[in-house]
Amino acid sequence: MEENMVHCPYCNNTLDKIPNAKSKCPFCKQFIFVLTDPDLKKKVHVTKTQADEIRKKWSERSEINYYVKYFSQFGITNEIFLAKKQLLSEEKGTEVENSEVLEQIFHRLVYTSKDFHELKMLYFSMALIKYQNGEDFFNLLQESMRFELLKKGESKLIKKVKIHAIGCEHCKENDGKIYTIEDALKTMPIPNPECTHEKKEGRGWCRCFYIAEIEGLKHKSGVL
């Protein structure tokens, strides 16, 4: 019977009616908050201070879900992320930010990867997160394109690439330009630093990409 009772989180008096939403205690007149605790996975009746802590937990879980969404393709799960966060927090003696955990995971994946395509996608995913958060992302996106060129360079058939431009007028100026892979790696024409597509924090998200140019062979769509 006791387990079906609810006590006021302030004065500890037993409530005659179980609140389903924010309500005032009939005894101490304090507001009782009703929220789902992410750890307990059930509704709890708490004080305002405790409610703020629960909301903070949900915000952190949402941020972790957001990061894991982009890094799940590399084997990162919520459990792995949380375990890494706990380890780093123990090492530093204080709780670390989720962004710091992500940086550690990213650099570890980059360090251990030997595949150019995977490295391209790692840098692309990190660049996209930074872009959406309004942070500097250009160098990461540039590294992503560098690894795309290196991946194409693994093929003996591909010696040149052509830029396919999408978006702003600055990018369209490069449309159709052809480079040897060596020259493209030296000059890195894309991503275009002048791109204005959906500009954030002074830079646009350049969507240009390379098409492989194979002499004597042309796909019916023009894209290989």
Q: What pLDDT shows up at residue 3?
A: 58
Contact criterion met (CB below 8 Å) for 155 and 192 = no
* The predicted structure's pLDDT at residue 223: 47
All structural domains of the chain with their residue ranges: 1-46
For residue 124, the model assigns a pLDDT of 98
Q: Contact 52/35 with Cβ under 8 angstroms?
A: no
Averaged pLDDT, groups of 10, the chain, 224 residues long:
79 95 96 94 96 94 96 97 97 96 98 97 98 95 98 94 93 96 98 92 91 72 47
Give the list of residues 6+ apart from residue 143 with CB closer than 8 angstroms, or none.
Answer: 119, 123
pLDDT value of position 216: 63
The letter for the amino acid at 50 is Q
pLDDT value, residue 224: 45
User: What number of other Cβ atoms are within 10 A of residue 5's Cβ?
Assistant: 10
Burial class (CB in 10 A: 0-12, 13-18, 19+), 144: buried
